[in-house]
Chain A
Amino acid sequence: AQTVTQSQPEMSVQEAETVTLSCTYDTSESDYYLFWYKQPPSRQMILVIRQEAYKQQNATENRFSVNFQKAAKSFSLKISDSQLGDAAMYFCAYRGTGANSKLTFGKGITLSVRP
């Protein structure tokens, strides 16, 4: 079974600075998808960024980018120019490519942004 590990329960960043959130996963599959979801205090889950394992290029969405290291099974999220609105829980998630594959989430990390 696939597992997703987010070992840091909390992190803090100064506004306008850069922060990196770590995620590792375990799988025997060669093709899969990785996601970062954001859950702000409203608790509405929002997709931040998505990475296809077969793509070597790291995904980027505005201030959000990932560092995908397939061999190391690592998928970290970098937030540049942090804003107060970035304060939230962030979940890393994995999904295989099988017809009945499900989304497996890590336990999440709480990010606080200091003004």
Chain B
Amino acid sequence: DGGITQSPKYLFRKEGQNVTLSCEQNLNHDAMYWYRQDPGQGLRLIYYSQIVNDFQKGDIAEGYSVSREKKESFPLTVTSAQKNPTAFYLCASSRRQISYNEQFFGPGTRLTVL
């Protein structure tokens, strides 16, 4: 089955610790994205990557970092610099960074910082 996997589903961390969220896709998609979802808010773009070894900041990149060493993987690190990291994080991918192409989403990771 082709799709996007995110792990873990729930993640708890202490304040001040960095944490890395995993995102893997086997759809052979070129583009990958990270979104943050807060209650009462839409999805906000954190980072996106159109090809391996390249990525761009989205609207709320501060306090986050990413890497794209493999086409299939786009991990997101939430650093201690992120002031309010507790949120639901969604990873997505698409065939290419073209407007009409559908973005497919993973099941998400709920991060809670204690």
Contact = CB atoms under 8 A, between A and B. Distances in A.
A93 B102 CA distance: 11
Contact of B45 (A9, A50, A96, A103): A103
A72 interface: no
A105 interface: yes
A52 B100 contact: yes
A102 B58 contact: yes
A101 interface: yes
Interface stretch (A14-22, A39-47, A63-71, A80-88): A39-47
A83 B84 CA distance: 37
Nearest to B48: A102
Contacts, number: 51
Interface string B70-114: 000000000000000000101010000101101101011000000
B100 A33 contact: yes
B40 A100 contact: no
A91 B97 contact: no
Interface residues of A, number: 29
Interface residues of B, number: 22
B23 to A, nearest CB: 14
A4 B103 CA distance: 18
Contacts of A104: 42
Interface string A91-113: 10101111111111111100000
B61 to A, nearest CB: 12
B107 A103 contact: no
23 contacts: A4-B42, A9-B40, A35-B102, A43-B88, A43-B107, A43-B108, A44-B108, A45-B90, A45-B105, A46-B105, A50-B102, A91-B42, A93-B42, A95-B99, A96-B99, A97-B99, A99-B97, A103-B43, A103-B45, A104-B42, A105-B42, A105-B44, A107-B40
List 7 tightest A-B contacts by C-beta distance, closest first: A105-B42, A45-B105, A105-B43, A95-B99, A97-B99, A107-B42, A33-B99
